[in-house]
Structure 1
Amino acid sequence: MTKRDLEIFVTVAEQKNMSAAARLLYVAPSSISQAISALEKQFHTKLFERSGKRLVITESGIVFLNYARHILAMYQEMEAAMNAASDTKLTLKIGTSPSVGAIIMSKMISDYYQQGHQANTEVTVNTANAIMGMILENTLDLGLILGKAPSSMVVSTPLFQDELILVCSPDHPFSAYQSIKPEQLDGQKFILREIGCRTRSQVDQELLRHDVQIQEIWTSNNMEAIRQAVIDNQGLAFLSPVVIDMELKNGRLHPIRVEDFSLKRTFYLIYHKNKLVFPTMDQFITSCKKYSKQIRMGNDSYFSLLK
């Protein structure tokens, strides 16, 4: 079994078709078929079953696919580490969730470079679930997401806490208050995140805990749209101080404390538990941990990065 055999198997598994895999790898379809047959003979098991013109991976194939991806990823890491040892710049592939995650990751990367590190970084911004999927597939080295990764195959290291705060326009009646009771939210118009995201779930749980019924007039997965709708006095929203720092400072948004509302959440740095943590990756993790200690967030101070 060679590295090429593993590359062929992974490509066939992803394409679900030998001819498509052959086109991607620039080899004859017969070579693809021979490589898969050789692997099945070596391990005395079927890796694929045919379903019409498509191939369906078997249970044994799924197990083999997981290991094949890791072996290929480790091979790439070995090459990268050797290139790094030869003064060739290494590239760290990093994923982050949108909004808060993206803002903080940008600051962490800037801080990393200010320390004199030379590695290149490639950043992918996507949902937490998508980032976890890419971590499991070894297409990313590290990820920054809201909440602990549910997979036992992922190492989750808590980095910092963030807390959602209630905000309104200076033209809203609530702008006269510094704090309110939960029942005062009853019947109020709200701009909310989409159903299914972790931020929305956390807000919904707190509203349910206090038996508060609100008017949901906007639903959006776009943080800029939510922020602008609140500025335009369309309604209230629970937002992170990180994404509205300037609006809080210049008075375009007014913060209000809601008594007995718990909207703290933790962001985690994640990577695959079988990942070979090469020196550059270890340096970046250490840098992120140091930087996270400088972060202080919450309703009292809104948002501050202490240098």
Structure 2
Amino acid sequence: MKYSFRQLEVFLAAAHTENITRAAQRLSMSQSAASSALRDLEQQFDIQLFDRVGKRLQLNELGRLLRPAAEALLEQAQDLEQALSQHRTPGALTVGATLTIGNYLAVGIMSRYMSEQEGARVSLEVANTSQIVQQVLNFDLDIGLIEGELHHPELEIISWREDRLVAFCAPEHRLATLGSLDEQALRQTPWILREPGSGTRQTFERALHGVLPELDVRLELQHTEAIKRAVEAGLGVGCLSMVALRDAFRRGTLVPLAVPGRDFSRHFYFILHRSKYRSAGIRRWIELCREAPRIS
């Protein structure tokens, strides 16, 4: 072969960091060795993979075209090395999860994954749906777990499990004794919601299509716990996943509210780049997610 796996590692690290010094640090190499590896790769094929802007390396059209193939090739090589040196067991994973999944589901799955084999590691990135999608597209994550509906030609979207949002208020709220929100109450009550770009907000807006311009959105917060605390303090009504609300309903610190005629059901999904190699670790992670107990 005219190229080495080390050259591909430098290419991908430079694509990720956009800087040869940081790429070298990421690979525990000297800057000169990393620069030489990237230069040799380009010279061997008489190509240019980056546009050089000062010290910044920005992938050009050819670099963007070749990056998925290089990512997949290295993943397969690492999987083969692991199978040859030990058993065919899952290894390190970089997982992204939206806030509801990351805070209430992923940690338990991660614990089981790591307990199955000695030395396995999982890095968990928790962010909203749009951020997780971008990181999967950029190959910064091996797999994403999201709660928003999505269509993208470069991503494989796999249905995982059903979920539903629930409107809720504090026990002392005037709506608590009624137990439901009619169309008039929907418009008149102050709402405390997740931020735009989150899967929860997407489902909420889909369910309340037709009355959105009339809603009193009092606060938009990025964290489910902050929303729950604000609702407990009597600042308004919230709407979150049942996964995030189950314990609070059991304790009686929050009260569920029915919303007749509105569909708050949704799905959780796995997302993977279509060019991403499905390693043993990714396959086992998906299996463990599917085996996780349901929350009703």
Structure 2 length-normalised TM? 0.82
Equivalence for 1:61: 63
Question: Contact 2:207/2:263 (CA < 8 Å) preserved in 1?
Answer: yes
Residues 110 and 177 of structure 1, relative CA distance in 2, 3 Å threshold = farther
Which residue, out of 38, 55, 77, partners 2:79? Answer: 77
- Contact 1:97–1:126 under 8 Å retained in 2: yes
How far off is 1:168 after superposition? Answer: 1.0
2:117 alignment counterpart: 118
1:4 is aligned to 6
Per the alignment, residue 47 of structure 1 pairs with 49
Residue by residue over 1:94-120, the C-alpha shift from the partner in whole angstroms, topping out at 9 and shown as x without a partner, is 32211244312234446668xx83363
Aligned 8 A contact 2:231 2:237 in 1: yes
* TM-superposition CA deviations, 1:225-251 (whole Å, max 9, x none): 110111121111112221121221122
Match of 2:195 in 1: 194
Deviates more, 1:76-85 or 1:218-227: 76-85
| Cα separation, partners in 2 of 1:243 and 1:45, compared to 1, 3 Å | same
Aligned 1:46-195 pairs, distance under 5 A: 46-85=48-87, 90-109=91-110, 117-118=116-117, 120-127=120-127, 128-195=129-196
CA distance in 2, matches of 1:15, 1:126: 20
TM-superposed CA distance for 1:266, in Å, is 0.8
Aligned amino acid, residue 65 of structure 1: R
Which amino acid counterpart does residue 252 of structure 1 have in structure 2? T
Equivalent pairs counted in the alignment come to 291
User: Which ranges in structure 2 are unaligned for 5 or more consecutive residues?
Assistant: none
User: Which is higher, the Rg of structure 1 or of structure 2?
Assistant: 1
Tell whether the 8 Å contact from 2:193 to 2:219 is kept in structure 1 after alignment: yes
Normalised to the residue count of structure 1, the TM-score between the two structures is 0.80
Letter in 2 for 1:282: R
For 1:191, what is the secondary structure of its paired residue? strand
Cα displacement (A) at 1:209: 1.4
After TM superposition, the structure 1 stretch with the greater mean CA deviation from structure 2, 247-256 or 77-86, is 77-86
**8 Å contact 2:200–2:241 — kept in the other structure?**
no
> What residue ranges of structure 1 are gaps of 5+ in the alignment?
296-302
Question: Conserved in 1, the CA contact under 8 Å of 2:170 and 2:176?
Answer: yes
Contact 1:182 1:261 in 2 (8 A): no
Deviation for aligned residue 1:287: 3.3
Contact 2:147 2:267 in 1 (8 A): yes
Distance 1:199 1:217 in 2: 17
Find the residue that maps to 1:135 and give its secondary structure.
helix
Q: 253-262 or 120-129: which moved more?
A: 120-129
Measured after TM superposition, the shift of residue 188 of structure 1 is 1.1
Assess, with a 3 A threshold, how the Cα gap between structure 1 residues 276 and 32 changes in structure 2: closer, same or farther.
closer
CA contact (8 A) 2:148 2:203 kept: no
Deviations 1:13-59, CA, capped at 9 Å, x for gaps: 34444466556654463x55554443334434332333345444321
- Secondary structure of 1:172's counterpart equals coil
CA RMSD across the alignment: 3.1
Distance 1:165 1:15, change over 3 A: closer
SS at match of 1:192: strand
